[in-house]
Amino acid sequence: MLTPKFQLTVSLFAYGLLLYVWLLLPDTYYVPTATMHMPAVLWFIHLIILYIHEAGHVLFAPFGETMYILGGSIMQVLVPFVWILTAWHERSRLVPVALFFTGLSMVDISIYMKDAATRILPLLGGKNSHHDWWTVLYRRDALDWGEPLGEFFFFAGMLAALAGLGWGIFVSVQAYRETQ
């Protein structure tokens, strides 16, 4: 059996890694660029989110074209949010981690929203592929909403991720103190 001190050490180390990821986000995800240079840890996380995003298009396709287009962004926030609900229902200590990843997914979407007007981000299908947020906002004559919508999602996601970090550290320390 693991000692409480070891469990706290591992938990705080893990939250330290998540803090490192959180600190990388403003530099990597705030301004859309054609190259999308990012540290390996963010590439790894982004690729997981990307698979969830693409699965969302498939899962939401039966609900019409608009839901097909938005399904990717919806799914990439919905999956970690369902993780929050499941962890909460099970009274798991992973609720803060799920909240962190929900916020991270919101930040990931934000750069895509901000890119709607310029369309400079590299997309999976290359230059001929469809840009979800450009399509949705253009059809509603609302391309100028991409930037403020992206700003909202960026800061809301950063705040949610930070709340997950703080809450997780608090829960870890509290669990350790209960064993003393």
Q: Tell me, what DSSP letter sits at residue 93?
A: T
Cβ neighbours, 10 Å, residue 25: 21
Query: What would the two tokens of residue 52 be?
Result: 């969830």
**Domains in the chain, number:** 1
pLDDT in tens, 65-87: 999 999 999 999 999 999 999 99
> In this prediction, what percent of the chain has a pLDDT beyond 90?
83
Q: Which domain covers residue 41, as residue numbers?
A: 4-179
> pTM here?
0.93
Q: Give pairs for 48-54: CB < 8 Å, separation 24+.
A: 49/76, 49/104, 49/105, 49/108, 50/124, 52/76, 52/79, 52/105, 54/124
pLDDT in tens, 13-62: 999 999 999 999 999 888 888 887 889 999 999 999 999 999 999 999 99
How many Å apart are CA 33 and CA 39, to the nearest integer? 15
Residue 127 has pLDDT above 80, yes or no: no
